[in-house]
Amino acid sequence: MTKTVPILPTHRPATRASQGRVTRATIAPMIHHLVAASAWEQAKARGRYEPPTLATEGFIHCCAAAQLDAVAGFYAEVDDLVVLDLDDSILPVRWEPPAHPDGRPAGPDEPYFPHVYGPIELAAVVGVRPYPPQRL
């Protein structure tokens, strides 16, 4: 008898370095979230990170490493960005088409993004670094 193994929503695609796109084909090691350093400091004091989008959209927007530069464009007015490196194996993550701010549906060839459906506990944050990376 053959055992069927379900594909869970936490299975995650990886980046295709040559295209900087995310597909459903392979597995990525971790996901990332951009946030103002001041908001991250407040989250650490509370013991977990819960941005406004968790209440308004039901999830926290995240990305793969290859998507960081594109996502950073949404934070052009923020001058103290940090990247949270997240262990998505302990987070409720779903890889989904982009949630466009104007409400339009995603196209069939658009990359998928990880969405965290719940607060990010501090234990899931395995690294914090400035964005853009500091140049030596």
Average pLDDT on 100-113 reads: 87
Q: How far is it, in rounded angstroms, from Cα 75 to Cα 122?
A: 23
Output the pTM of the full model: 0.76
Number of structural domains found in the chain: 1
Bridge partner list, 21: 16
* Residue with token string 């990376």: 133
CA 40, 13, 60 angle in degrees (round to 5)?
Answer: 30
Q: Are 73 and 18 in contact (CB under 8 A)?
A: no
CATH of the domain at 99: 3.20.170.20
**What digits encode the pLDDT tens for the residues 41-99?**
999 999 999 999 999 999 999 999 999 999 999 898 898 999 999 999 999 999 999 87
Establish if 83 belongs to a structural domain. Answer: yes
**Which range marks the domain in which residue 74 is found?**
15-130
Establish if 8 belongs to a structural domain. Answer: no
Establish if 4 belongs to a structural domain. Answer: no
How many other C-beta atoms lie within 10 A of the C-beta of residue 48?
14
